[in-house]
Structure 1
């Protein structure tokens, strides 16, 4: 076989490969289909929420030590605050439990998008206040703010998260 037919075969194969790679579009109705692969965003949002939970646990455990490290609390609150600002971006339509994915996200997130975004903002605001309080060194006030932060989590979970217990 001379070089030109080999090149044409290579070019045709490469073109077909590129076309196949670009063809992985989501269904037009953004719903899961049988055997559909879970979107990576679900893992990303779950990791983000685990990070928020870990930061919250660190703050609570510091308060239980009797001599809390306010710098560690401030750092954890900062981490929580940064993660909370990403929440709304982790919920594209079609990624709820009702869409067949392994998630606790309820369809009410999209049915009440404004309420969901407001709930996420409540966590952002409460964690920002936690940063300020921790920086002041007032551990009693940090303890009170823990209740406020926890309340924002509960409020969101009660409305937008599947209670699988």
Structure 2
């Protein structure tokens, strides 16, 4: 009889511990599907897109600094342009449906991304095109054209932020 009471008490303790764990807010994270239809965690998707945009910003800064030198480092500008163009090509895949605020995850992505997909695609393409112009200018060692392309990159970033990103308070 004592062993039956011990088993019952142990099972009750496990059930209580499991219930407490559930009460601590350990809810499963929201999921969506990627371009291939595979399930992905929204938090991971948001983290990946933030990392992608940080990489774009880092490459943009490196290109700007390389162009500011009295003797521009065109190889560095070209490499940065390639990086920006590659990362710009990833943007659309990093915004699957269900990865906005409706997921419950923290994101600055506005609903306009999914409501106006053609405009969002055009914005991402504008960045990739500007990066291609920067690469061509850098490869030609044309500082004036490279600086114009840098302005186009800045304009592409600004346009996307104004239309598809929540304004920071």
Q: TM-score range by the shorter chain?
A: 0.7 to 0.9
Higher radius of gyration, 1 or 2? 2
Tell me the alpha carbon deviations over residues 78-109 of structure 1, each in whole angstroms, 9 at most, x when there is no partner.
Answer: 00000000100000112123543222111110
Moved over 2 A (4+): 24-28, 97-100
Whether the aligned pair in 2 keeps the contact of 1:45 and 1:90 (CA below 8 Å) is: yes
Tell me the alpha carbon deviations over residues 122-165 of structure 1, each in whole angstroms, 9 at most, x when there is no partner.
Answer: 11111111111110001121111111111011111100001113
- Cα distance, 1:38–1:85 mapped onto 2, change above 3 Å: closer
- Cα distance, 1:62–1:27 mapped onto 2, change above 3 Å: closer
Instruction: Pick the aligned partner of 1:47 from 51, 61, 66.
Output: 51
Distance 1:143 1:134 in 2: 10
Match for residue 126 of structure 2?
122
Structure 2, unaligned stretches of length 5 or more? Answer: 1-27, 33-40
Instruction: After TM superposition, list the pairs within 5 Å mapping 1:43-122 onto structure 2.
Output: 43-122=47-126
Say which structure, 1 or 2, has more relative contact order (CA 8 Å, 6+ apart). 1
Q: CA RMSD in A?
A: 2.0
Match for residue 20 of structure 1?
none
Distance 1:117 1:125 in 2: 12
Distance 2:148 2:141 in 1: 13
Are positions 1:146 and 2:145 aligned together? no
TM-score (norm 2): 0.73
| Per-residue deviation, 1:39 | 2.5
Distance 2:42 2:90 in 1: 20
Distance 1:54 1:95 in 2: 24
Structure 1, unaligned stretches of length 5 or more? Answer: 1-23, 29-36
Whether the aligned pair in 2 keeps the contact of 1:98 and 1:107 (CA below 8 Å) is: no
